[in-house]
């Protein structure tokens, strides 16, 4: 049992990607093992995944246990064939080859991700019942002190202008890593309140659930 502060967290935006490489199969295992001929990935590499399995499609996953022609999807349990139908996980991956640190972060907040429900009632009932459906769309908002000369500011602007999907990496003081993937929107007009730091806001509209590694 512990508590922690976010002070010292480092945020980085993906700025460069390698060529997409085909994945011919992913095993039902813990962790799942991806088959990819001559992949060339080192352990610890971060990959954007495209897969027939919606549970991992669009997520950022770390490479582990790499060997010639295969590698583990670090921390991803694909044993359940109801969630990961056998033989349907093929797709492609591309390595993130460059990041720009997002400096001068003032605040980070998230919204969405809540469980949604379908409500129903039978004629003979005098009460409603609910069953879980999907999670609501999730986004991450970052407020940064206004300085257009910084690499992180320029990377956010470029991604927003291109309406591009980019990975966001957050390393916490504990060494824990959070990985997000989504569309970037960036408002270059800073807030202006007398006596307060001028700040610009970036929003990541997530395509998939985040991935977290303890270290």
Domain ranges of the chain: 16-97, 101-213
Residues 6+ apart with CB under 8 A from 3: none
User: Residue 197 and residue 142: Cα distance in Å, rounded?
Assistant: 14
**pLDDT tens for the 215 residues of the chain, in order:** 788 999 999 999 999 999 999 999 999 999 999 999 999 999 999 999 999 999 999 999 999 999 999 999 999 999 999 999 999 999 999 999 999 999 999 999 999 999 999 999 999 999 999 999 999 999 999 999 999 999 999 999 999 999 999 999 999 999 999 999 999 999 999 999 999 999 999 999 999 999 999 98
The whole model's pTM is what? 0.93
Q: Does domain 16-97 have CATH number 2.40.30.180?
A: yes
Number of H helices, E strands in the chain: 1, 16
């Amino acid at each position: 049992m512990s508590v922690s502060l976010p002070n010292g967290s480092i945020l980085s935006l993906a700025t460069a990607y390698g060529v997409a490489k085909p994945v011919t199969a992913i095993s039902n295992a813990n962790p799942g093992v991806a088959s990819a001929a001559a992949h060339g990935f080192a352990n610890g590499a971060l990959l954007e995944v495209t897969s027939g399995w919606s549970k991992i499609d669009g997520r950022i996953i770390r490479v582990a246990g790499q060997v010639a022609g295969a590698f583990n999807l670090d921390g991803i349990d694909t044993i359940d064939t109801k969630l990961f139908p056998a033989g349907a996980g093929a797709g492609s991956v591309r390595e993130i080859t460059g990041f720009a640190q997002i400096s001068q972060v003032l605040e980070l907040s998230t919204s969405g991700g809540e469980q949604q429900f379908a409500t129903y009632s039978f004629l003979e009932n005098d009460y409603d019942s609910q069953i879980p459906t999907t999670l609501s769309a999730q986004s991450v908002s970052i407020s940064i002190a206004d300085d257009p000369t910084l690499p992180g500011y320029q990377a956010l602007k470029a991604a927003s202008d291109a309406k591009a999907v980019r990975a966001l990496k957050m390393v916490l003081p504990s060494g824990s890593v959070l990985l997000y993937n989504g569309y970037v929107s960036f408002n270059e007009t800073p807030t202006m309140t007398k006596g307060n730091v001028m700040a610009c806001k970036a929003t990541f509209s997530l395509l998939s659930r985040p991935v977290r590694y303890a270290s």
